[in-house]
A and B are shown apart, each in its own frame.
Chain A
């Protein structure tokens, strides 16, 4: 227990110090990291029932478009549009998952793509209100009441706070009976039905909650970029999200976070090779799926074991003479 707390404390300190330790353009990367953390963690939430979807990026887009339109056209404040956008994303998520509850596996995967793409094409098609292929511009910068929080470092801390809050909520769900229900559905849906668990309802619940948080991430992104367009939510981006969770692993709660951090570092380091980045990403995806399907998280217990061994050896060494 002490070790966990120390771990969290170290992470907290690093997270708070980081924006001051890097170049300004890299604060941008950190902000996007926050979006991706929420995105990947919420994708895992959906996966815990065993459903893999291809529409998660689109629900992020729903949040982005919602917040943009709520603040721009209705003139409502950001602190209201943020949670509202999550709700809209959750609602659209429900409309996507509901017809798919009769299928699982590959059918669900490709069906979620079809419905998600249909939503995305609505943004492409209709200039009003979505702006068509060019999308929306002049999205009001984020502000809470009279405070403008759109400054890079301020916004980073704001997004960090939202990310921590979101992940904490998802953690509570994961650890609860409902989280156990999701995992049980993944393992043996027939058994679950037999003990009174309405499997379709819980699959939908996981999907909608996941969509809600994806929407939150989308709203955060919309106000940061100031402009959004349908291309930001294409299938290609979905593949990158999948890379995050495959690299990290989804068995443990923290796997996706590990995946996001590792891949963000990889992408940053490969900045000079920018044109080769999709190849690097693709190769990494192939590698993990073929060679290490459990993701990096399976290495963590091994690393911990090594760490413990090292600290044990420390105790065995004779004390240095005074």
Chain B
């Protein structure tokens, strides 16, 4: 591999890993806190992209505002999902998971009917130009995802470890019974977890809106990768999700460059299978007794 290609691939991998991080941490949070596996997480991502399409492209709002707006909007969808799907199926991970698969269909059709199906919305890139490093070109639009991802993960970390409700969330993840005894409302915590998960997925999609084609089905590819990341990292571990996100970012980008996208997906899926067989709790997950 040529040196400039290597730099390019490394740079792309870092960006890809950052994108994956923003999508995966929300999923890991939902699963860690209340054993909720959200198949519609990819559709939350898609909704975030559509928020940018509506606010930035259609209404002309500034891009950063549009991105930030994705948080509360998709967080609300997340909370609805918790209330209507996860709460009634509490305790049954598979049932909740399958129901969110149904939700994914619902959201895809609703968005498709509202704003057109199959038409790939090209959203004008707000930040043109690229950074040049060692012969590689990295568009600013893509590069800004790296600090955004760092900020998002850092904010989540701070929240979970230094804010009272955040600590309550962690307590629930570790031992829901003890947490309940300490007066923590499990329902409120679960609602909050899904709000954050949704909001984060929304921001991820919003950031990616200028970079990838915006269609009602754009969640489909990301959800598979998101689950691979969460399984590989350890289903309840945020740190594991970030680590796995970058591992997968590198694997995916390098394999695509060296072979093609299909082989890259195969590599990701094979890694997931390998972890499930050899170390089912994931890289940074805890073994369940």
A contact residues vs B (CB 8 Å cutoff): 52, 99-100, 102-103, 105-107, 109-111, 114-115, 117-118, 121-122, 124-125, 235, 239, 242-243, 246, 275-276, 278-279, 281-286, 289-291, 293
Contact of B103 among A118, A282, A293 (CB under 8 A): A282
Contact of A117 among B88, B102, B105, B269 (CB under 8 A): B269
Q: Which residues of A contact B266 (CB under 8 A)?
A: 118, 121-122, 125
Consensus secondary structure, chain A interface: helix
Is A110's CB under 8 angstroms from B102's CB? Answer: no
Count contacts between A and B, CB distance < 8 Å.
118
Is A246's CB under 8 angstroms from B84's CB? Answer: no
Q: Which residues of A contact B101 (CB under 8 A)?
A: 239, 242, 282, 285
Is A102's CB under 8 angstroms from B280's CB? Answer: yes
Is B99's CB under 8 angstroms from A114's CB? Answer: no
Distance A121 CA – B174 CA, assembled complex (angstroms):
37
Is A275's CB under 8 angstroms from B99's CB? Answer: no
A-contacting 9-mer, from B6-14, B142-150, B270-278: B270-278
Q: Name the residue of chain A whose CB is nearest to the CB of B117.
A: A275
B contact residues vs A (CB 8 Å cutoff): 37, 84-85, 88-89, 92-99, 101-106, 108-110, 112-113, 117, 224, 227-228, 231, 260, 262-263, 265-266, 269-270, 272-273, 276-277, 280
Is B109's CB under 8 angstroms from A285's CB? Answer: no
Distance A235 CA – B104 CA, assembled complex (angstroms):
12
Q: Which residues of B contact A276 (CB under 8 A)?
A: 109, 113
Distance A100 CA – B88 CA, assembled complex (angstroms):
29
Q: Can you give 16 A-B contacts (C-beta < 8 A)?
A: A99-B273, A102-B277, A102-B280, A106-B37, A111-B276, A114-B272, A117-B224, A118-B269, A125-B260, A278-B109, A282-B101, A282-B109, A289-B98, A289-B102, A290-B85, A291-B88
Q: Which residues of A contact B105 (CB under 8 A)?
A: 239, 278-279, 281-282, 285
Given A99-B273, A114-B269, A114-B272 in contact, is the A282-B93 Cβ separation under 8 Å?
no
Taking the nearest CB of chain A, how far is it from the CB of B108, in angstroms? 6
Distance A289 CA – B89 CA, assembled complex (angstroms):
8
Q: Which residues of B contact A279 (CB under 8 A)?
A: 105-106, 108-110
Q: Which residues of A contact B109 (CB under 8 A)?
A: 275-276, 278-279, 282
Taking the nearest CB of chain B, how far is it from the CB of A124, in angstroms? 5
Q: Which residues of A contact B102 (CB under 8 A)?
A: 239, 243, 281-286, 289
Q: Which residues of B contact A102 (CB under 8 A)?
A: 277, 280
Distance A203 CA – B109 CA, assembled complex (angstroms):
37
Q: Name the residue of chain A whose CB is nearest to the CB of B266.
A: A121
Q: Which residues of B contact A282 (CB under 8 A)?
A: 101-106, 109
Distance A279 CA – B101 CA, assembled complex (angstroms):
11
Is B276's CB under 8 angstroms from A100's CB? Answer: yes
Q: Which residues of A contact B272 (CB under 8 A)?
A: 110-111, 114
Distance A289 CA – B86 CA, assembled complex (angstroms):
10
Q: Which 9 A-B pairs have the closest CB atoms?
A: A282-B105, A285-B102, A279-B109, A282-B102, A278-B105, A111-B276, A289-B99, A282-B106, A286-B102
Is A275's CB under 8 angstroms from B270's CB? Answer: no
Q: Which residues of A contact B106 (CB under 8 A)?
A: 278-279, 282-283, 286
Q: Name the residue of chain B whose CB is nearest to the CB of A284.
A: B102
Taking the nearest CB of chain B, how far is it from the CB of A226, in angstroms? 25
Given A52-B94, A107-B280 in contact, is the A286-B103 Cβ separation under 8 Å?
yes
Is B273's CB under 8 angstroms from A118's CB? Answer: yes
Is A286's CB under 8 angstroms from B99's CB? Answer: yes
Q: Which residues of B contact A125 (CB under 8 A)?
A: 260, 262-263, 266
